[in-house]
A and B are shown apart, each in its own frame.
Chain A
Amino acid sequence: GAGVSQTPSNKVTEKGKYVELRCDPISGHTALYWYRQSLGQGPEFLIYFQGTGAADDSGLPNDRFFAVRPEGSVSTLKIQRTERGDSAVYLCASSPVGAGAADTQYFGPGTRLTVL
Protein backbone atom coordinates (compact mmCIF):
# COMPACT_ATOMS: atom_id res chain seq x y z
CA GLY A 1 0.00 0.00 0.00
CA ALA A 2 0.97 3.67 -0.16
CA GLY A 3 3.46 4.96 2.34
CA VAL A 4 3.67 8.32 4.06
CA SER A 5 3.75 11.16 1.55
CA GLN A 6 4.90 14.72 2.05
CA THR A 7 4.44 17.78 -0.11
CA PRO A 8 6.20 19.72 -1.37
CA SER A 9 9.44 17.76 -1.61
CA ASN A 10 11.38 21.02 -1.73
CA LYS A 11 10.38 24.50 -0.64
CA VAL A 12 12.45 27.64 -1.06
CA THR A 13 11.19 30.77 0.62
CA GLU A 14 12.41 34.15 1.74
CA LYS A 15 13.04 35.17 5.30
CA GLY A 16 9.87 36.42 6.95
CA LYS A 17 7.48 34.47 4.74
CA TYR A 18 4.86 31.94 5.87
CA VAL A 19 5.07 28.29 4.78
CA GLU A 20 2.89 25.21 5.08
CA LEU A 21 4.20 21.66 4.85
CA ARG A 22 1.79 18.79 4.32
CA CYS A 23 1.89 15.19 5.47
CA ASP A 24 -0.38 12.35 4.33
CA PRO A 25 0.05 9.41 6.72
CA ILE A 26 -0.55 5.77 5.97
CA SER A 27 -4.29 5.15 5.85
CA GLY A 28 -5.64 4.06 9.23
CA HIS A 29 -2.62 5.17 11.25
CA THR A 30 -3.83 7.11 14.28
CA ALA A 31 -0.46 8.44 15.41
CA LEU A 32 1.42 11.10 13.43
CA TYR A 33 4.78 12.71 14.20
CA TRP A 34 6.77 15.64 12.89
CA TYR A 35 10.57 15.77 13.16
CA ARG A 36 13.15 18.26 11.91
CA GLN A 37 16.59 17.27 10.68
CA SER A 38 19.41 19.73 10.20
CA LEU A 39 22.37 18.90 7.99
CA GLY A 40 24.63 16.30 9.54
CA GLN A 41 22.35 15.76 12.53
CA GLY A 42 19.79 13.20 13.58
CA PRO A 43 16.08 14.06 13.43
CA GLU A 44 14.66 16.05 16.34
CA PHE A 45 11.11 15.60 17.55
CA LEU A 46 8.68 18.46 17.05
CA ILE A 47 5.13 17.28 17.74
CA TYR A 48 3.01 14.13 18.07
CA PHE A 49 -0.68 13.72 17.24
CA GLN A 50 -2.94 10.99 18.51
CA GLY A 51 -5.99 11.31 16.28
CA THR A 52 -6.89 14.99 15.93
CA GLY A 53 -5.24 16.21 19.09
CA ALA A 54 -1.64 17.16 19.74
CA ALA A 55 -0.59 14.77 22.49
CA ASP A 56 2.91 16.20 22.82
CA ASP A 57 4.11 19.48 21.28
CA SER A 58 7.14 19.87 23.52
CA GLY A 59 9.53 19.86 20.58
CA LEU A 60 8.15 22.91 18.79
CA PRO A 61 10.98 25.45 19.05
CA ASN A 62 8.81 28.56 19.48
CA ASP A 63 5.38 30.01 18.76
CA ARG A 64 6.18 30.55 15.10
CA PHE A 65 5.64 26.83 14.63
CA PHE A 66 2.17 25.32 14.67
CA ALA A 67 0.69 22.06 13.40
CA VAL A 68 -2.84 20.80 12.86
CA ARG A 69 -4.55 17.55 12.04
CA PRO A 70 -8.22 18.52 11.87
CA GLU A 71 -9.71 15.24 10.66
CA GLY A 72 -7.23 12.85 12.18
CA SER A 73 -5.52 12.07 8.90
CA VAL A 74 -3.62 14.73 6.93
CA SER A 75 -1.46 17.08 8.97
CA THR A 76 -0.06 20.50 8.12
CA LEU A 77 3.00 22.04 9.77
CA LYS A 78 2.84 25.82 9.61
CA ILE A 79 5.81 28.13 10.10
CA GLN A 80 5.28 31.88 10.41
CA ARG A 81 7.90 34.57 9.82
CA THR A 82 10.47 32.06 8.64
CA GLU A 83 14.09 32.52 9.63
CA ARG A 84 17.26 31.20 7.98
CA GLY A 85 17.72 28.88 10.96
CA ASP A 86 14.49 27.11 10.04
CA SER A 87 16.21 25.62 6.99
CA ALA A 88 16.15 21.85 7.41
CA VAL A 89 14.46 18.68 6.22
CA TYR A 90 11.06 18.29 7.88
CA LEU A 91 10.11 14.64 8.30
CA CYS A 92 6.69 13.21 9.01
CA ALA A 93 6.03 9.72 10.36
CA SER A 94 2.95 7.71 11.24
CA SER A 95 2.32 4.60 13.26
CA PRO A 96 -0.71 2.34 13.64
CA VAL A 97 -1.73 3.01 17.21
CA GLY A 98 0.74 5.15 19.10
CA ALA A 99 -0.59 4.22 22.50
CA GLY A 100 2.05 1.59 23.19
CA ALA A 101 5.73 2.28 23.15
CA ALA A 102 6.72 -0.35 20.64
CA ASP A 103 5.08 0.80 17.42
CA THR A 104 7.25 1.13 14.36
CA GLN A 105 7.15 4.62 12.89
CA TYR A 106 6.97 4.85 9.11
CA PHE A 107 8.67 7.92 7.71
CA GLY A 108 7.89 9.97 4.66
CA PRO A 109 10.58 11.27 2.26
CA GLY A 110 10.63 14.69 3.93
CA THR A 111 10.31 18.28 2.78
CA ARG A 112 13.55 20.18 2.35
CA LEU A 113 12.91 23.77 3.44
CA THR A 114 15.39 26.45 2.46
CA VAL A 115 14.96 29.95 3.85
CA LEU A 116 16.97 32.55 1.95
Chain B
Amino acid sequence: SQQGEEDPQALSIQEGENATMNCSYKTSINNLQWYRQNSGRGLVHLILIRSNEREKHSGRLRVTLDTSKKSSSLLITASRAADTASYFCATVHPQGAQKLVFGQGTRLTINP
Protein backbone atom coordinates (compact mmCIF):
# COMPACT_ATOMS: atom_id res chain seq x y z
CA SER B 1 0.00 0.00 0.00
CA GLN B 2 1.11 3.56 -0.61
CA GLN B 3 2.29 5.48 2.40
CA GLY B 4 2.98 8.90 0.98
CA GLU B 5 0.64 11.38 -0.51
CA GLU B 6 1.89 14.04 -2.87
CA ASP B 7 0.28 17.38 -3.28
CA PRO B 8 -0.65 18.60 -5.80
CA GLN B 9 -1.34 15.62 -8.05
CA ALA B 10 -0.62 17.79 -11.07
CA LEU B 11 1.15 21.13 -11.47
CA SER B 12 1.55 23.25 -14.59
CA ILE B 13 3.81 26.34 -14.57
CA GLN B 14 5.70 28.58 -16.98
CA GLU B 15 9.37 28.04 -17.71
CA GLY B 16 11.52 30.03 -15.31
CA GLU B 17 9.04 29.85 -12.43
CA ASN B 18 9.62 27.86 -9.28
CA ALA B 19 7.78 24.59 -8.66
CA THR B 20 6.93 23.31 -5.20
CA MET B 21 5.67 19.81 -4.48
CA ASN B 22 4.69 18.45 -1.09
CA CYS B 23 4.72 14.97 0.37
CA SER B 24 3.13 13.63 3.53
CA TYR B 25 3.77 10.25 5.10
CA LYS B 26 2.39 8.23 7.98
CA THR B 27 5.08 6.30 9.86
CA SER B 28 8.48 7.07 11.33
CA ILE B 29 11.28 7.13 8.79
CA ASN B 30 15.02 6.69 8.49
CA ASN B 31 15.19 8.88 5.40
CA LEU B 32 13.05 10.34 2.64
CA GLN B 33 14.04 10.41 -1.01
CA TRP B 34 12.75 12.19 -4.10
CA TYR B 35 12.74 10.56 -7.54
CA ARG B 36 11.89 11.80 -11.04
CA GLN B 37 10.24 9.65 -13.68
CA ASN B 38 9.92 10.45 -17.35
CA SER B 39 7.32 8.79 -19.55
CA GLY B 40 6.27 6.25 -16.93
CA ARG B 41 9.49 4.25 -17.01
CA GLY B 42 12.76 4.30 -15.05
CA LEU B 43 13.10 6.46 -11.96
CA VAL B 44 16.04 8.76 -11.37
CA HIS B 45 17.17 9.48 -7.83
CA LEU B 46 17.28 13.22 -7.10
CA ILE B 47 18.04 13.72 -3.44
CA LEU B 48 17.98 11.96 -0.06
CA ILE B 49 17.32 13.66 3.26
CA ARG B 50 17.85 11.87 6.56
CA SER B 51 15.39 12.05 9.44
CA ASN B 52 17.78 14.22 11.48
CA GLU B 53 18.16 16.76 8.66
CA ARG B 54 15.79 19.64 8.02
CA GLU B 55 16.93 21.00 4.66
CA LYS B 56 19.13 19.91 1.80
CA HIS B 57 20.18 21.48 -1.49
CA SER B 58 21.38 20.02 -4.77
CA GLY B 59 21.77 22.41 -7.70
CA ARG B 60 18.31 23.86 -8.42
CA LEU B 61 16.67 21.48 -5.94
CA ARG B 62 15.82 22.26 -2.35
CA VAL B 63 14.24 19.69 -0.06
CA THR B 64 12.86 20.29 3.41
CA LEU B 65 11.77 17.74 5.97
CA ASP B 66 9.51 18.29 8.99
CA THR B 67 9.34 15.06 10.96
CA SER B 68 6.92 16.54 13.50
CA LYS B 69 4.40 17.08 10.69
CA LYS B 70 5.54 14.00 8.73
CA SER B 71 5.94 16.09 5.61
CA SER B 72 8.52 17.08 3.04
CA SER B 73 8.66 19.55 0.19
CA LEU B 74 10.65 19.64 -3.04
CA LEU B 75 11.36 23.02 -4.60
CA ILE B 76 12.70 23.28 -8.14
CA THR B 77 13.93 26.78 -8.90
CA ALA B 78 14.14 28.41 -12.33
CA SER B 79 12.24 25.55 -13.97
CA ARG B 80 13.08 24.32 -17.46
CA ALA B 81 11.07 22.41 -20.05
CA ALA B 82 13.29 19.39 -19.35
CA ASP B 83 11.98 19.31 -15.77
CA THR B 84 8.63 18.09 -17.10
CA ALA B 85 8.15 14.70 -15.44
CA SER B 86 6.46 12.94 -12.54
CA TYR B 87 8.05 13.40 -9.14
CA PHE B 88 7.74 10.89 -6.33
CA CYS B 89 8.70 10.97 -2.71
CA ALA B 90 9.70 7.68 -1.10
CA THR B 91 10.34 6.84 2.52
CA VAL B 92 12.52 4.24 4.22
CA HIS B 93 11.32 2.93 7.55
CA PRO B 94 13.94 2.54 10.30
CA GLN B 95 13.48 -1.23 10.15
CA GLY B 96 12.51 -1.30 6.50
CA ALA B 97 15.66 -2.90 5.10
CA GLN B 98 15.86 -0.17 2.49
CA LYS B 99 12.44 -0.93 1.03
CA LEU B 100 11.17 2.28 -0.58
CA VAL B 101 7.54 3.22 0.06
CA PHE B 102 6.39 5.60 -2.65
CA GLY B 103 3.67 8.18 -2.83
CA GLN B 104 1.40 8.58 -5.84
CA GLY B 105 3.47 11.33 -7.39
CA THR B 106 3.05 14.84 -8.76
CA ARG B 107 2.86 15.30 -12.51
CA LEU B 108 4.82 18.51 -13.32
CA THR B 109 4.45 20.24 -16.66
CA ILE B 110 6.72 23.15 -17.58
CA ASN B 111 5.27 25.28 -20.37
CA PRO B 112 7.78 27.06 -22.66
Contacts and interface: CB of A to CB of B under 8 A. Distances in A.
Interface in B49-97: 50, 88, 90, 92, 94, 96-97
A106 to B, nearest CB: 7
Contact of A107 (B4, B42, B103, B105): B42
A48 B98 CA distance: 9
A103 B32 CA distance: 11
Contacts of A106: 45
A103 B50 CA distance: 11
B112 interface: no
Nearest to B40: A89
Range class of the A interface residue count: 20 to 34
A21 interface: no
B102 A109 contact: no
A44 interface: yes
B42 A108 contact: yes
Interface string A68-86: 0000000000000000000
A43 B91 CA distance: 12
Contacts of A45: 99-101
Nearest to B1: A44
B2 A103 contact: no
A87 interface: no
A107 B88 contact: no
A104 interface: yes
B31 A33 contact: no
Interface of B: 1-2, 4, 30-31, 33, 35, 40-45, 48, 50, 88, 90, 92, 94, 96-105
Interface of A: 4, 31, 33, 35, 37, 39-45, 48, 55-56, 59, 89, 91, 93, 95, 98, 100-110
8 contacts: A31-B98, A33-B98, A39-B40, A41-B2, A42-B90, A42-B104, A101-B94, A104-B45
The 9 closest A-B pairs by CB, nearest first: A42-B102, A101-B30, A109-B42, A107-B43, A107-B42, A45-B99, A104-B45, A109-B41, A110-B41
